[in-house]
Amino acid sequence: MKYRCDACGYVYDPKLGDPDSGIAPGTPFADLPSDWVCPLCGVGTDMFSPEE
């Protein structure tokens, strides 16, 4: 499942991960490190909502 940043609209896609932040492709949103932040606006995972 993809998650969208409520602040800026960035979409975290587990299939792609976030290689620029050291997050490997295939990493589920629930398994992101606690210090991971949106690569566009810097908010934490608590500001993301599941995308339907």
Tokens of 38: 């949106």
Query: Cα 50 to chain center, whole Å?
Result: 10
Cβ(4)–Cβ(48) below 8 Å: yes
Q: Is 5 annotated as a binding residue?
A: yes
Report strand pairing: 48-50 vs 3-5.
antiparallel
Helix (H) or strand (E) holding 3: strand 3-5
Q: Is 4 annotated as a binding residue?
A: no
Q: Is the pLDDT of residue 43 over 90?
A: yes
Q: Is 34 annotated as a binding residue?
A: no
pLDDT (average), residues 38-48: 98
| Confidence (pTM) | 0.93
Task: Tell me the pLDDT tens digit for each residue of 4-34.
Answer: 999 999 999 999 999 999 999 999 999 999 9
Q: How far apart are CA 38 and CA 18, in angstroms?
A: 10
DSSP label of 18: B
The pLDDT value recorded for residue 52 is: 78
